[in-house]
Structure formats: structure tokens, C-alpha cells
Chain A
């Protein structure tokens, strides 16, 4: 790669990353506040503001254009709310009317004045990231893309604005009414967020076009939300995701010779999809594993408890009994596993629980009978209907809950079917040991 090409890639990626970071920061708050589609609306609606700014003699990224964009963004919100107040139109429908209209007006104006301004419908839709490295200005002797300067200025404004009001923003996002009650000027905070969104959008608009800004606003934050939970962590992860996607997207576009803006959005989508599958707590994979783990535990506990009960009926819980027939494939696997790990001993078609096995089984049976007893006391439920719920709850009743139930019972009380409730393991009788 020649040094020219390197500079081209370097500058472009840096510009894309800077723009993406600004969008990801405001996007974090938009997503949390359920304003994602408002972000989409603003990204479209700033177009007429930009066009007016340019027609009035401003440069893309210049203060005149930024001001025009902020005005257009606030107009979108104002008009949407106005429609609701004036004719009771729901906000999503209202913004659908307003932003398409403003965007259409912007596109028509751009088309009509295409010869007079350096904007055209292509640029509006695709952005001009590819051209960023060709429009250079000298800063302290270094030739820097003008777009990068704009993007940096925007990032400073957005990051500074959010940092200065972060606590207020979070309080407002978390609970608007409580925030208002606590004296936070919610309307001002929200207007500030919308203005910063407009500013970030202008930079994003120039880089990737009006439509794809929404991907830059929403996808990083939505991805981060699946991975971490505290607001400042979400913001940081969102920025990291945005920067990584900008770099990778640019490289992918170069590799396959296609639209950089499009590829950045695609890479963002890829990150989001990965998070959906792999997120540690909420990911599809983690949930699948958790479900399988629960099924596996239930199968093991059921198998032990069945042998224990059979023994109890035969006279002693530890007695050897005829091996029950596994009801499911999983239970069959559990039976094998429990035998291999020494919880169950098998000989000549008969099985008996080892000491460890018996202790685990007792815990399950104990949970089962405690629950039957509790339900029998607190719910109006016939005794013959108590078994099925307990069959399910026995796998979920933890030590603390068992203790609570036991505290309600008189010592030595039997379950509603008159059967003994086994004591908590390692505690033959008496109160639990004080820790």
C-alpha cells in the first residue's frame, strides 16, 4: 500500500470513527428513552435545515449549517407535538408525517438548486465519506480532511454537552416524572439532548447519508445494552462498538469495492447480531445453556427422588428397589450419570441410593412436601391437587424458602398426605445452625 493510500484510509477511517462516536453517545440516551425512531426522524428532517444553511452561504459542517440542522430537528419535535395537541394525532404517526415531509422538501430543494450548491441527492443518501480525504485543509502545517475537523468539533460539542449534563440526562431517562418532581428541568434536558442529536446527525449525515445515520445512532447503544447494564458502561461500550464498526466497515467497503456507509451499517448489524447470540447473560446461547442446565438438574433430581420415594414405600428410604423406568431420554441419561458418579448403586435390576444420593434426594422430597404443606395452608386447594404444583416447585425452592416454610410448621408436622418431611440435610433436627 502506498503512503497516499495509507493516508486515504487512515483519514477516512478516523473521520468515520469520530462521527460514529458522536452518534453512539447521543444514541445511548435515545435508545434508553425509547426515542430511537425520533432519532431516525431527526436524521431525515435535518436535511432542509442543512439545505437552507448551505443556501444562506454556509459550508457543510459550518456553524450556519449546524444551526439550521438544530432548528430543523427541534421543528420536527415541535411539529409532532403540535399535531398531537392540535388534532390528537399519536406521536409515532405524527413524526412519520413530519419527517417524511421535511425530508421530501429537502430533497426537492437540493434537486432544484443542485447546480448552485455542493449537495446532490446522491450525497444526501450515501454520504461523502469516500471524498473526505480529498478535501484537505492545513492545520498547523498538517494537511487534515475538513470533514475530520468538523467531526472532531462535533464530538467535542456532543461529548462535552453530555458530560456536563450526564447526571441530569440519566435521571430524566430513568424516570421523567421523578426527575421533574426532584426539580430537574426535564424539558430543558430533553431539548438539550435533541439539539445534540441534531448536531451529531449533521456530522453523520455528511459521512454516511441521511438514512444510515439511524444505524449509527441506535445500533451501537442497542448492542451495548445487551452486554452491560449501567448507563456509563453502555455509553462506553457503544462508543467502542461504533468506532470498531467504522474502521471495519471502511476496510470491508474498500476490500469489496462498495459503499462505505452501507458497509459500516452492515458491520454494525453484525456486531448487534453477535451480541444477540453471545451476550453473557441475555444472549440466546446463554439462555439455551441455562435452560438445558435446568432440564438436566430437574432430570437428575427427579430420578433421585423417585428412587427415594420407592424406598420409602418399601419401608426405608435407603432400601434397594426395583429400578424405575426412565420417563424421558434426559432422565435416562441422568440415571447413567448418577450411577457413574456414585449417587446410585445398581445391581441385578435393582437400585439403591448411596449416602450422597440419599442426601440430595431428601432435599428434593423435602422441598416437595414443604411446598405441599404451605400451599395446603395458604391456598384453597383440595389435597389431591397439591401434588402436581409441588412436582414443579420442588426444583426451585431454595434453602431460604424452605426455612421460611419450616418456621411456620410445628415440629414434626407431616405433609398434607400424612408423610414425613425429611429434615434439612446435615441438620437432623432442631433449628438451623447459626452462621
Chain B
């Protein structure tokens, strides 16, 4: 799966800007082994932005992201994605099965519709997240946790090697959280890399094999026990990096703020 010993995911000095204002500075991070990897940090730290940068959804103004040593475009089908639940309109006229089938579109390509094989894959993915009996339900008539699991099933249907999940536990009941975590752990055990944006420090320590602490820059990354030290957490959550704000402002205004 990983010839040439390239890291599965490598962020090389990645700087991301919205408009001209940088929001994420010089992230340098390489994940070599399949694991459950948590991206942890306060609100507005740029955690989701990091995932989006990896997926090419926001422009990277400096540095690059590689998957197994290759740019994203060449490994499109191998990267699964679970966006935040609030980003879509749940009143959309599709049912649970329709949404999960969307995970198979990448492999299908243009003009081909999902067939029997895709339906079987989707049904199996629904089974894994415990929603097999809700396949025909309109997605608006699901609980938050069920909606999140639909998104997870859709990512599973991508049959990817690397999964990127954006706050999959946010606003989700405990039962769904455990179910989701179970699915993610199973993925890891099957040799997949699972990167999860997560905001809760307490559960992070118990769930993730490795974590990265982020607050607009990378504070620390590595095995959970080594990284989640009082010092690192203080650095991440204490704020106090107005300098980055100031500098961002100066860059956005094309000058120096004296």
C-alpha cells in the first residue's frame, strides 16, 4: 500500500489564506503509519481549514500537501471525506441510500449510474454504521447522530485508504459517538489512516493514537501521551499569538502595520 516509505500524508510548510489573510501558518506534519489521528485545538484554530487544504477545498498559498508522496489529484479515489454536518441542507429531497451512494460516484465517473454492486456496497456501509433499516428514509427525518452516521457511511462507500473527518462527534448523542468511534477504530485496525478534527481534549486522550495540537500554527504532533502535556495544551489554548493576527492583517492590507 505504501511503496517507497513515503508518509501516508505529508503537510509540507503549508500556509492557507482566506482572501489574502493567512489563517493557518506553516503547518509541517507527516503521518507515516495507519492510525487514529486527532487534530485538536480551540475554536477558530484552523483545524477544519487544515482538512480542507488537504482536500484542495481552500487554496494553499505556501507549501504543499502530499498523499503517499503524490499530489491529491493522483490519489483522489483513495481519500474519503466526512464534512461537517451543518454544511448541507438536510431538507434536500434525497433518502439515506441516495446519500450513501454518492460515495460511489467517484469510482463510477461521468454518465454511469450506481448499479447492483454499488447498491450492495452502500447497503453494507449502512449496516456498519447501524442504519440498515433507515435506507429509505428522507435525510431530514433523522436525528443528528443518525445524520452524522449517514455521512460516515457515505465516506465508507468511497472505499478509501485515508479518511478525513471534520468534527464527526459535534452535536452527536453518546450512543452515536460510540458507534462512530467503533467504526473508525475498525478502519484503523484494517490498516486505514483516519484523521479526525476534534475539539474535546478529554475524549481525545482516550480515542486517538496520535494527535496534532493546532492553533493557527502547529504546536506539537506525535503519540497522544507525548503530545498532550500541560505545557503543549497551555500553548495551544492560551491564545497569546496576536503577532499572527497582526501579521495576517498586514499581509491582507498589502503593507506593514507600523
- Residues of chain A having any CB pair with chain B under 8 Å: 88, 290-291, 293-294, 374-375, 378-382, 385, 388-389, 392-393, 396-401, 404-405
Contacts and interface: CB of A to CB of B under 8 A. Distances in A.
Contacts, number: 71
A171 B43 CA distance: 28
A380 B218 contact: yes
Contacts of A88: 91
A397 B247 contact: yes
22 contacts: A88-B91, A290-B254, A293-B254, A378-B219, A378-B235, A380-B219, A380-B220, A385-B13, A385-B28, A389-B13, A393-B247, A396-B247, A396-B255, A396-B256, A398-B256, A398-B258, A399-B256, A400-B258, A401-B243, A401-B250, A401-B257, A405-B243
Contact of B26 (A291, A379, A396, A399): A379
A389 B247 contact: no
Interface in B1-58: 12-13, 15, 25-26, 28
Nearest to B248: A396
Nearest to A375: B26
A404 B28 contact: no
B12 A379 contact: no
A404 B217 contact: no
Given A378-B217, A380-B217, A381-B218, 20 more contacts: A293-B254, A294-B255, A375-B25, A375-B26, A379-B25, A379-B217, A380-B28, A380-B218, A380-B221, A385-B12, A385-B26, A388-B13, A388-B62, A389-B15, A393-B247, A396-B247, A396-B250, A399-B256, A400-B258, A401-B250
Contacts of B220: 380
B251 A396 contact: yes
Contact of B219 (A290, A379, A389, A393): A379
Contacts of B63: 388
B186 interface: no
Contacts of A379: 25-26, 28, 217-219
B246 interface: yes
B64 to A, nearest CB: 11
Contacts of B256: 396-399
Interface string B204-221: 000000000000011111
B108 interface: no
Given A396-B250, A397-B256, A399-B258, A389 B241 contact: no
Contacts of B25: 375, 379, 389
A381 B257 contact: no
Contacts of B62: 388-389, 392
A293 B256 CA distance: 13
A397 B257 CA distance: 8
Nearest to A392: B62
